[in-house]
Every structure is written in C-alpha cells, then in structure tokens.
C-alpha cells in the first residue's frame, strides 16, 4: 500500500520546510507550485517533492484537483503548506488504512494563532476531510472553500493535523483580503445576498456560545477576524453593485 501526499502553494517557502518534514514517511509527495516568486518550487524539489508548475488560479480547487491527478498512491492525503502532520498521526495512519472499509477520513485540526493553540470558538476540532482512496474523491472546481466530494463511506480519526495559518499580522491581512475578494466574487456570480446580521450572529456564537473568550486575546482576535471577513465581503459586494442586506 502506497500513500501520496498532495499540496499546492503560492509563495510558501517559509512554510514548506516544516510541512514537508512532517510527511517524510509518505511514499510520494506532490507539490503544485502556483506561480511562486520566492523559490517555493526549487525548495520543494530539494526536499524530495515531485514539483509541477501551474498558473495561480484564484479558485484554489482547480490546482488542488490537478495535484490529486498527479498522485500514484493507493491513498492520497491532501495537506496545505501551512499545516503539518503530527507524529501520532504519522505513526498510526498506515496501520489504520491497511484494511480500511472507508473511502475517506475526517481529521481534527488544531489551529495555532500567534502563540496559542485555540481550543474553543469553533476552532477545534475543526474537522477536515483530507485522506481518501485514489479515485474515490475529488475537489469540485466551483468554490475556493468547497470540500472534497467522496464516493463511499467516511470514517473519522482522532489524531490531529496542526495548522499555522498566520506567521504575522501582514500575512493575516493578506489572506483576509484574498478570501474576502473570492467570497464577494462568488456572491456576485450566484446573485447571493450578504447579510451583516449573519456576520454579527456568527461572532456572538463563536465568541460567547462556543466560548471563544476562553482562548484569551487570541480567541478574541480569531472571532474578530471572522466578523471582519464577513463585513469586508459585504463591502466588496456593494462596490461590485451586488445586493446586500
């Protein structure tokens, strides 16, 4: 049984050493470089990955699906460059998959925000569908946040992956702008209204009902980030002439 790891990235040289070091156990690592200008492709190749170069498509799922199609393993593990596989997951995964009755697996994800692992506010277990049999799942190339579509039963593992989404405030703002722009574009294409009431409700639920306040200042920043993202989508939709409420 062979396991492939697939990932895509644009200017991820600062994250790749940590990420690729965590998947040395894999039989194959495929990295799709999306027009990076920081040497990501060369770095990934030097660390043992099979590298492919593609345009930096705003719909990330286009290149994610391309990466899956380059994998030859019996199982594929999709990973983002700002994530890493924990030692306990690496140690137990192959045995779990050997005689599995599932087509895919959900994994819990731990989110690390500016020095703190978030445990509340909807940030944990933050389950992600990432491991699947080759040919049994695909990324719909419609929505940047669209999950894998799976043919067959889905299991769940307790071993987590770790997520380091922001190395500094500048990266936080860059990602906020990127995802808000994509969110506004999707709303415009589908004629969907964006509601500030929904944004406010999400903040209250995550920060109070889901006890985001227990994660201290980092929990507050996380809840505010989600709120500001929705507000920014609302503003961008208004600039584009889309209906809002």
Question: What is the residue whose two structure tokens read 């809002």?
Answer: 244
- For residue 241, the model assigns a pLDDT of 67
43 CB contacts (<8 Å, ≥6 apart)? 13, 16, 17
Q: Check residue 191 and give left, alpha or beta (phi > 0: left; psi -120 to 50: alpha).
A: left
Instruction: Give me the pLDDT at residue 141, please.
Output: 77
Q: What pLDDT does residue 186 have?
A: 81
User: What gap in Å lies between CA 67 and CA 77, rounded to an integer?
Assistant: 11
In this predicted structure, what is the pLDDT of residue 22?
Answer: 98
What's the confidence (pLDDT) of residue 59? 87
Residue 212, judged by CB atoms within 10 A of its CB (0-12, 13-18, 19+), counts as: buried
* Its pTM surpasses 0.85: yes
User: In which residue are the tokens 């415009």 written?
Assistant: 188
**pLDDT, tens only, 172-193:** 999 999 999 988 888 887 777 8
Q: What are the two backbone dihedrals, phi and then psi, of residue 118, each rounded to the nearest 5 degrees?
A: -80, 130
Q: What is the mean pLDDT of each run of 10 residues along the chain (245 residues)?
A: 98 98 98 98 98 94 96 98 98 97 98 95 96 96 76 98 95 93 83 85 95 97 94 88 64
Give the pLDDT score at 93.
98
Question: What is the structure's pLDDT at 201?
Answer: 94
């Amino acid at each position: 049984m062979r396991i492939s790891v697939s990932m895509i990235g644009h200017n991820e040289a600062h994250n790749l050493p940590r990420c690729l070091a965590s998947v040395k156990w894999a039989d194959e690592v495929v990295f799709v470089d999306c027009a990076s200008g920081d040497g990501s492709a060369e770095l990934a190749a030097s660390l043992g990955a099979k590298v492919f170069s593609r345009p930096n498509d705003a719909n990330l799922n286009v290149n994610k699906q391309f990466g899956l199609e380059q994998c030859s393993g019996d199982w594929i593990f999709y990973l983002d460059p700002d994530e890493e596989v924990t030692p306990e997951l690496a140690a137990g995964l192959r045995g779990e998959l050997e005689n599995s009755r599932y087509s895919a697996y959900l994994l819990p994800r731990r989110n690390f925000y500016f020095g703190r692992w978030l445990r509340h506010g909807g940030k944990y277990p933050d389950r992600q569908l990432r491991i699947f049999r080759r040919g049994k799942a695909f990324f719909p190339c419609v929505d940047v946040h669209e999950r894998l579509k799976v043919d067959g039963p889905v299991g769940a593992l307790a071993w987590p992956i770790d997520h380091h989404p922001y190395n500094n405030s500048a990266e936080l703002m860059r990602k906020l702008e990127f995802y808000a722009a994509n969110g506004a574009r999707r709303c415009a294409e589908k004629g969907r209204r964006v509601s500030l009431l929904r944004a406010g409700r999400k903040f209250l639920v995550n920060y109070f009902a889901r006890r985001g306040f227990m994660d201290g200042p980092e929990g507050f920043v996380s809840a505010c980030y989600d709120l500001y993202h929705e507000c920014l989508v609302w503003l961008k939709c208004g600039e584009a002439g889309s209906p809002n409420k």
